[in-house]
Amino acid sequence: MKLRAAIIALLLPLAALAQEENTEETWKPASAESQAYREYRLKTTTPPYGLAKVKALIQKNASSEEDFTVMPAKDYLSLTLREKFTYHMINPESYSQNCDVEPPIQDEHKKIFGHLPDVYAELNWSERQRDFLQANRDSVMAIIKESANRSKRLGLNYKMALVEINAVEMVPFLVEFFKRDHKDLDILTVLMELMEQTKYEPFIKSASHTKLYSKNSTYNSFLVFNQANEDLIIQRAMAMYNAAN
């Protein structure tokens, strides 16, 4: 027993050292290219529609006790549809429950994720805001298309809105927009999230779906970005769109 205790005592520091080394490896900083792509992924689009008016109303109703602002009904109802869209895209009205701190993602620019990153950190859209997007989905899609074509950018908040309203009608536009520079891999993520929400059978039965959305997958599960995966995602998304139309 004494010999066993002595061996355990000798091994404990080594185990602790190994644990520290594993922790350091887990939190390995991402490369400069990967970090730059992370910043690119998190960029949002600020709609121009009534922006000054909307910002003034947000500022007027801001509370020092809360991290978010909920515009009173009177002010909210004074906004036009496009001004309400601007408000929802720049001012989430609710807390998000996601508080996990995750290690840096390695080679983020080489991965097609199954889910979009959190757009508003610890905040999210309220029920009122989600209801607006759903009730005005045709207008929301038209505004996003117009804004993205003008700015040459599809911000993360726009992509989240398209997933929120299950915008299958936008598939051809998303495919064309992605092919302009093949840079924003999260557009491919949106296509897959639309197929997942629609339960498009050829995708649901695929190995890609198992890897990204099964009980064994995680929020950051991904496919390797290569031509074969790009082509397959686009092919399936277009087939889903054509079947729906």
Look at the alpha carbons of 144, 145, 151, 156 in this order and tell me if their dihedral is positive or negative.
positive
Rounded Cα distance between 229 and 243, Å, is 21
- Tokens at 51, concatenated: 């922006």
Q: State which H helix or E strand residue 244 sits in.
A: helix 227-244
Q: State which H helix or E strand residue 123 sits in.
A: strand 123-124
Mean pLDDT in the chain? 89
Stretch 9-19: mean pLDDT, rounded? 43
90-115, pLDDT tens digit by residue? 999 988 766 567 789 999 999 999 99
pLDDT at position 134 = 98
62-78, pLDDT tens digit by residue? 876 666 789 999 999 99
Q: Which of helix, strand or coil describes residue 67? A: coil
Q: State which H helix or E strand residue 90 sits in.
A: helix 81-90
